[in-house]
Each structure stands twice: as C-alpha cells, then as structure tokens.
Amino acid sequence: MTGVRETSSRTPLRSGGWVEGDPSGDRQFLDLGPLDLERGGALPAVRVAYETWGTLAADGSNAVLVEHALTGDSHVVGPTGPGQPTPGWWDGLIGDGAPLADRFVVCANVLGGCQGTTGPSSTAPDGRPWGSRFPAVTIADQVAVERRLAEALGVDRWSAVIGGSMGGMRALEWAVAHPNRVERLFFLASGAVATADQIGTQTTQQTAVTTDPRWAGGDYAAGEGPVAGLGTARRIAHLTYRSAEELETRFSTVVQPDGRFAVASYLDHHAAKLAARFDAGSYVVLTEAMNTWDVGRGRGGVEAALARVTATAVVGGIDSDRLYPVAEQQRVADGLGVPLRVVPSPYGHDGFLVEVEAVGALVRELLAAPAGGLPSAR
C-alpha cells in the first residue's frame, strides 16, 4: 500500500495517508499561498489536493461542490489505483445516469487532511513534517481554502454544495458565510453545532491516539506511528457510525473459531483499514475541528446564522443515526424553513453513504428545483 510498510495484512508499521513522492492518482494540486486561521496564527503556505469530473459550462452555471466526511478524501467515485488505495467513497453520485451527471463536480481534500492537502504530515518550511506544530483549524478555515480553490477554478457561484457528516458542516458553512455563492444546499446527517455527546466521543478517540506511546507528542516518524491508538479510535468511532440494531442482526454474540467475538473482528478489520490509509495527526486535527464546530459562532447564534442562507435547501437525516440524531437536522430544517427529509435505514449514520438510491433521489430533487422552488415549512 502506498506510503505504508506492513509487517502483516493487519498491522502496518505506521499510520497511512498520501505522502510526497507517491503517485498522484487522479489528484490535482493547487498552491494557495498563506492562510490566516480563525483561532489565531497562520499557515505560511497551503496546498490543496482536489479532483474534478465533467466540464465547467461557459457561464459557470453547472458547478457542484461535494464535501467529504472525516476520513474521506477527494476521490468521490472511481476505482483504486496507484496513489489511490481505496475506491470512491460515494459510489453512484457521479457518472452517466447518476444524480450529478452533466455537472462540473469538484471535491477537495480538506485542510488538515492527509490525502494531499496541507496537514500535520505535510512538509513545513523547515523541511520537516508539521507534526505537533500544525495549528488548530476550524470548519470555517477549511471553507476558506475551498473558496480560494473555487476562485482559481473560475467558479463564482456553486449550483449546489452537497455534504454529509463533517461534509455537511462545510456545506452549511458555505451557505451561511457566502450566501451569494451558493444556489442550492444539500445538508445531510450533520448538525449546526457540536453536541456534548459528539465532543465526548471524539475527545475519547483523540485520547486513544495521543496516549499511544508511539504518538511521541505528535512528532512520530515513519515506522513509529501510533497505529494501535488510531485503531482504537476507529473502533470507538465505528460504533457510532452503525446502529445497535444492525450490529445485533449481523453479529449477535457469535464467537469466531479464533476466539474473537464476530463484532470485535469486524471492528478490528475497520481499525486496520483506517490505520493503513489515514494519518493519526490528521485524525486528531480534524476531530478537533468537528468539536469546535458552531455555525452560529460570531453570528448571533445558530438561528441567526441560518437566517442568512438564501440557497434552495434540502435537509436530510437518517432515522437510525445515533451520532447525528434527526433532531439536529430538524433544527437546521426549521431554521431554513424547509421540511426535514428522513431516510429510513438500518445502517445508522453510515446510511448517508449506503442508501445510495434514496439519497440520490433527494439530490436529483434539489438540482431540479429552481432557486426558492422547494416547498417551505414556514
């Protein structure tokens, strides 16, 4: 696997992620210069990795921004290949006959990530990885990077901004911070502000990473990464991504021939997969960005911030989501004056990715609607 040396199929020597010198795959790169950060400080230079599909119309009217979730990246759809060890994470969204057919689609790896955009594993001006010196970033900072990318691509106004989970946060930040640049908004399986439950879960995941002896204060080297801690963090997270009912149906109390509970083996599998493709420093930085998420910060509160949105909006939730319960999407729907669209699914939070047909239908509905053309809940 690119950028990762392994001692077995389950135990990589370091946490993964794209590293300089790896094949670029379908990534494109853009250097954006320095960036001042919301919580203070600055990055002297930011590079963003992104992918595009389709062609931008002459009048720029067909541009769509897709926002990835915590451990996603710019590879929305497509196969594995050199420099791209995982297939697209939102299969069925882009391509012939798909909801985003005939659109110019952009997806950028998020600031603080580990798939080509500047993050903790990137090289700092002194030639060493940023590591523990990488500053705290927020959802607003990540959108600031995407705004510069849009300008470089010649996109003055997005026909739609689409995102679920952490991607939903950025989609909503776009619609609030830049209402004149967003024509349509798809906000899915997310919230307007971090809750105590989410912060508690995510800080516990961070502790799992940072108490691994190989964390080394965030300045671990290749061959010494906190793989065990990152794997534990993923196990905790994955339990919030799926529903209790699904886990019971699939695994119950079954014990495998190797002595492990089947559900534990399932979590081990996902822990190893993430450690092989994701950087532990990025995991800590990005979960902290989620912890500090509040669309109403500095804007008079959540409802005042939502009142700034002029985009036609679809707000959707997953009925079995225990990480972002539908009450959180209901608050956003109420603030935007639209009905909440609830997708039934046994898969919990991950239903926003699994229920391709139902979610795709909502995307099609949004794109077919003129500005202000969807029914209002007000």
Which 3-state string (H, E, C) describes 327-375? HHHHHHHHHHCCCEEEECCCCHHHHHHHCHHHHHHHHHHHHHCCCCCCC
Q: Which of 200, 206, 168 is nearest to 283 (CA)?
A: 206
**Whole-Å CA distances, 239 to 35, 233, 267, 331:** 35, 10, 8, 25
Confidence of residue 6 (pLDDT cuts 50, 70, 90): very low
- The position carrying tokens 């046994």 is 346
* Average pLDDT along the chain: 93
Token look-up 């516990």 returns: 204
Does one domain contain both 125 and 256? no
Residues 140, 58 share a domain: yes
CATH code for position 227: 1.10.1740.110
Active site residues: 165, 321, 349
Q: What is the mean pLDDT of residues 35-47?
A: 97
Q: List the one residue out of 309, 306, 341 whose CA is nearest residue 326.
A: 341
For β-strands 42-53 and 104-108, DSSP reports them as antiparallel
The predicted structure's pLDDT at residue 16: 83
Is the pLDDT assigned to residue 1 strictly greater than 50?
Answer: no
Q: Give yes or no: residues 222 and 182 share one domain.
A: no
Q: 271-274 long-range contacts, Cβ below 8 Å, gap at least 24?
A: 271/230, 271/231, 271/232, 271/234, 271/235, 271/238, 272/9, 272/10, 272/11, 272/12, 272/231, 274/71, 274/230, 274/231, 274/234
Q: Which two tokens stand for residue 250?
A: 């699939």
C-alpha to C-alpha distance for 113 and 277, rounded to whole angstroms = 11
Where does the pLDDT of residue 290 fall: very low under 50, low under 70, confident under 90, or very high at 90 and above? very high
Angle (CA) 313 319 320, round 5°: 135
Domain end point (choices 290, 312, 332)? 290
The model's pLDDT over 200-239, given as tens digits with 9 standing for 90+, comes to 999 999 999 999 999 999 999 876 689 999 999 999 999 9
Are residues 352 and 208 located together in one domain of the fold?
Answer: no
20 falls in which pLDDT band (50, 70, 90)?
confident
For the CA atoms of 210, 211, 214, 219, the dihedral, rounded to the nearest 10 degrees, stands at 30
**Domain CATH for 308:** 3.40.50.1820
- pLDDT (0 to 100) of residue 343: 98
What pLDDT does residue 15 have? 60
- Indicate if 44 and 115 belong to the same structural domain: yes
Q: Which tokens sit at 320?
A: 């079995």
Higher local confidence (pLDDT), 375 or 36:
36
- Look at residue 378 and tell me whether its pLDDT is greater than 90: no
Residue 14 has pLDDT above 60, yes or no: no
Same domain, 53 and 121: yes
Residue pLDDT, tens place only, 72-123: 999 999 999 998 989 999 989 999 999 999 999 999 999 999 999 999 999 9
CA-based nearest residue to 281, from 134, 105, 98, 75: 134
CA distances from 222 to 15, 280, 344, 378 (A): 8, 12, 43, 55
Whether 325 is covered by a domain: the verdict is: yes
Give the pLDDT of residue 372.
59
Domains contained in the chain, number: 2
Pick the last residue of a domain from 290, 316, 339.
290
Residue 12 has pLDDT above 50, yes or no: no
Q: Establish if 4 belongs to a structural domain.
A: no
Is 162 in the same domain as 95?
yes
Same domain, 286 and 303: no
* Domain housing 360: 28-197+292-368
User: Nearest 5°: phi and psi at 357?
Assistant: -70, -45
**% residues pLDDT > 90 (the chain):** 89
